A and B are shown apart, each in its own frame.
Chain A
Amino acid sequence: MIVALAVAPVVLVTMLIGLRGVAAMRTTSDFLVASRRVSPLLNSAAVSGEYLSAASFLGVAGLVVKDGIGSLWYPVGFTAGYIAMLALVAAPMRRSGALTVPDFAEARLGSAALRRLAAVVVLVIGVLYLVPQFRTAGLVLSVVTETPYWVGVVLAGGVVSATLALGGMRAATYVQAFQFVFKLVLFIVPAMWLLIQAGPEVRTDAVQPSEFTHFSHDTTVTFRVGATLDVPPGAEVIDREDGPRELRPGAWEVPPGTTVTFADGTPVPEVRGEAVPGADGWERPLLDFDDEGYPLLGTWAVLIATMLGTMGLPHVIMRFHTSPDGRAARRTAAFTVALLSVFYLFPGIYGVLGRVLVPHLYLTGATDSAVVALPAQVDDGTAGTVFTGLLTAGAFAAFLATSLGLLLVVSGAISHDLVPGGLRQLRLAVVGAAAVIVLLALPAATFDAGTLVTWGFTVAASTFCPLLVLGIWWRRLTAAGALSGVAAGLVSTIGSFLLNVAGPDLHGWVAILVAQPAPWTVPLAFVTMVVVSRLGRPAPWATAAMLRLHLHEHRLSPFVSRTQSDGAARDLGHSSWPARRSSAVRRITRRLGR
């Protein structure tokens, strides 16, 4: 009940703030980029609020419980992406004046085919990223309130699409900025309380990793999804009626929906294909996937995907377009690094406490819910319930904020880039896209949120990252080069995912490069773009189009600057048009090549 009381205000405030944005909404630009009037601080709070998704709020701590301390590299990559963005993309992208990434592609390279391909990539990233958000919303609500899974999914879909269809980006900005502060407080305060409340014994255990081999108390585990366990000899469960009974050693297929209470002191069953929390290698600060023995490769692969993927995430790029100018966009990126750095100091605390207090979550694969499961372990009174409620509210805010931004870019891709239309169509697209995502999320309860989100990052890193970096900094990029590079990145990443899901059992470094394909798909996309562009000729206006992105807005008016800075040598004051002929531009830009 108290949890419902915690989630309801989040939902209500989201809707109320959303409604504030409705009155001033007139055009597509209002809807998509809040008419570009958002200050850097507000915008960076909104960027951070949007970016701290379920994967950050719950996922990182869950991965630490499951895979080890090395999972703390994910947040480092998430944050580092904003520095790359600040240095390479933020200001020029804003100065392009485009509304969405496909818009930018068309403005820079003049190809309608590229625009449509970019819109398709936005849809792919959006779906890969939105489905796990809705799934986790459903899962967390079902864990803490005993409601069925679909209730949470439908509730999340309804609130997000209603807020967005009415208020657009303006509403989303205020909602996300509010939710960043909300999430920050709801993450830091419970972390401190947990650390203090847990007591010296748990704190010592937290920094002395030991393998989870025996249950330290009677532990009730609910299997929402079926699992296959390897039961060791001597494992006991407690039946509600019959009291303790010993399990038959060997494989045990647990059907979905079973609740099992393991007895105090009995050995822990193992999950097929998963390492036990606290096992050898858990304490290593590197990501050794499936214990294949390539920790450095695994860590670097994740860092490449998250860092370069951040630069290409369409909903983050869209947020930079709400800044009034390129300078504000750059400031937004820098402030975002600072805000995220504060937040990411804390997931590790939940992770190491979770390994001590709730290691049994690994049996069900639901380590995602470690953060919300912790308070009840530390305090079974009112305080524990209150903190569970607060963390659930924070987690719900995380899904809402991220889903708002993603749904906005998905509907923007449909209604602005694929089938251009007016504001009403854009609103309909929001509702339609939300309905489709809800339908996709309903059967996705078994998917690992972390995997899907990392795939979203990998797709972004191998498609939009090369497109933006080369589009902004390399004047010889051609439309054909960009098209083939984006296509190569998209096909190779999706092929790699399919191979990973349905393909043969792989081992060694090949397995890591198939599961985490960023180290080869990103260079592949870059090389394809460069080689194909080199084979063709860039359009005559390409250099001007690229340089235009680097020209800052707060320069003098052309009429003043000409008479002042160029003096009498060139009289361009009468009519600028002859001088703007592309031949004149070419003559001057030839200098660049020398």
Chain B
Amino acid sequence: MTGRRVAVTSPQTRLAHARRRYRGPWRPTTLDPAEMPRAIALYRSGRSRAVSALAALGALVFGLPFVLWLWPALDEVRVADVPVSWAAIVLVPFPAMVTVAFWQLRRAEQAERELLDADTGVGGGADRGADNAETASFGSFDRTSGSGNSTGEGAS
């Protein structure tokens, strides 16, 4: 561990990298029909979750100016000498947005985990702990074997 990182490539790779790059002919993305139902389920759950998160965000971001416009009297009300309407555009949106963000993140990850559990659970009938172990092992398998993205990579 000297900390210094050295490029280790074969002479061919170095030549290929130095050369002008040609992109191959473009090929359409393929999707294995066996994975299609899962993709459709994920697409649908993702869409409904995104719509509800965006509705909450829109209500907050467009509703708050409307409320402040509707009740100009809020400028006169003071808490600890600061007008309520001034505090409202700093102290309300930011905590609310952090809440919405983590709520959306949790739901999205839960949806993917549920599908993954469903996949692993059907064949074995194993208990939940084993499921998680299996999931985790596949997770690490994927991570070590590359970015796990086989088809999309070819398009770039």
Q: Measuring CB to CB, which residues of chain A are less than 8 angstroms from any residue of chain B?
A: 23-28, 36, 69-70, 72-73, 76-77, 79-80, 82-84, 86-88, 91-92, 95-99, 103, 106-108, 110, 112, 204, 207, 283-286, 295-296, 299-300, 303, 307, 324-325, 327, 330-331, 333-334, 337-338, 341, 344-345, 348, 420-424, 473, 539, 541, 544-548, 550-558, 561-566, 570, 572, 576, 579-580, 582, 584-585, 588-589, 591-592
Contact = CB atoms under 8 A, between A and B. Distances in A.
Given A96-B152, A97-B155, A554-B139, A106 B31 contact: no
B34 A558 contact: yes
A299 B42 CA distance: 36
Contacts of B148: 325, 553-554
Given A341-B94, A588-B36, A541 B156 contact: no
A23 B2 CA distance: 13
B40 to A, nearest CB: 6
B31 A548 contact: yes
| A contact patch SS | helix
B130 interface: no
B23 interface: yes
23 contacts: A28-B21, A69-B85, A80-B97, A87-B54, A88-B54, A96-B152, A96-B155, A98-B152, A98-B155, A107-B29, A207-B83, A327-B109, A338-B101, A341-B97, A422-B18, A552-B116, A554-B135, A555-B138, A563-B123, A572-B33, A580-B30, A585-B30, A588-B37
Nearest to B134: A556
B72 A84 contact: no
A73 B89 contact: yes
Contact of A80 (B29, B50, B61): B61
B93 A547 contact: no
Interface residues of B, number: 88
In this complex, the member of B78, B94, B116 whose beta carbon has the largest number of chain A beta carbons within 10 angstroms is: B94
A564 B32 CA distance: 16
A103 B30 contact: no
B93 A545 contact: no
B6 interface: yes
B19 A420 contact: no
B34 A562 contact: yes
B101 A566 contact: no
Nearest to B31: A544
B33 A564 contact: no
